[in-house]
Amino acid sequence: MRIRAAASAALASAGILLAGWQSGAHVAETGSTAAATSAATSSGAASGTSSGPGGSSTSGSSGSSGSSSSSGTAGSAGAAAQAAGTFAGSAVQTRFGTVQVQITVKAGAITDVTALQLTDNDRKSVQISNRAAPLLRAAVIKAQSAQVQTISGATVTSAAYLTSLQGALDAANL
């Protein structure tokens, strides 16, 4: 009887993991498609603010429509339009506080991500932000895009961080 119960529990766990994996893959595909569509339709319209040299954008398209362009030199117009400097994303309001990030770009690559504001409504929010921010920073610098996974246990903070980051990337024409 115990063997049957253990086998049933293992089978149920495997089914739940498979269903979660499939829905996660579907969400990732949808997110990539939405980000590519958003980048193509905005054509460099910045939702954040530009605070670095060369912050004015030209009328070219954003040279990357894929989910992770490491060099950012996909086309000659994209390479010419890339600016260096710092670019701030929009401030994103969450139920736990405001999140805003700033990126530093050199030669078309993200060299640093700085959190200007993180969730801070209570002590727990501060702890979550302090744990998630360095992990998100490292993932973004490695991926050179906003297409990174959210941090478990910091879903709201991660989503707001990545939304603000996308605004900064748009401002930088990346």
Whole-number Å distance between alpha carbons of 15 and 22:
11
pTM over 0.85: no
In the chain, the percentage of residues whose pLDDT exceeds 90 is: 49
At residue 77, the pLDDT reads 42
At residue 66, the pLDDT reads 37
Binned at pLDDT 50, 70 and 90, residue 3 comes out as confident
At residue 84, the pLDDT reads 87
**Span 34-44, mean pLDDT?**
38
In the chain, the percentage of residues whose pLDDT exceeds 70 is: 53
At residue 128, the pLDDT reads 95
Tell me the three-class secondary structure of the chain, residue by residue.
CHHHHHHHHHHHHHHHHHHHHHHHHHHHHHHHHHHHHHHHHHCCCCCCEECCCCCCCCCCCCCCCCCCCCCCCCCHHHHHHCCCEEEECCCEEECCEEEEEEEEEECCEEEEEEEEECCCCCHHHHHHHHHHHHHHHHHHHHHCCCCCCCCCCCHHHHHHHHHHHHHHHHHCCC
Residue 2 backbone phi and psi in degrees, to 5? -65, -35
Q: Is it the case that residue 64 has pLDDT exceeding 80?
A: no
Show me where the domains of the chain are located. 43-171
Binned at pLDDT 50, 70 and 90, residue 9 comes out as low
At residue 137, the pLDDT reads 96
Q: Please, which residues have CB within 8 angstroms of residue 28's CB and are 6 or more apart in sequence? A: none
Structure tokens at 142: 């490695």
Of 9-18, 78-87, 106-115, 124-133, minimum mean pLDDT range = 9-18
- Contact (CB, 8 A) for 151 and 20: no
Residue type, 48: G
**Span 20-47, mean pLDDT?**
41
Note the CATH number of domain 43-171. Answer: 3.90.1010
- Contact (CB, 8 A) for 83 and 173: yes
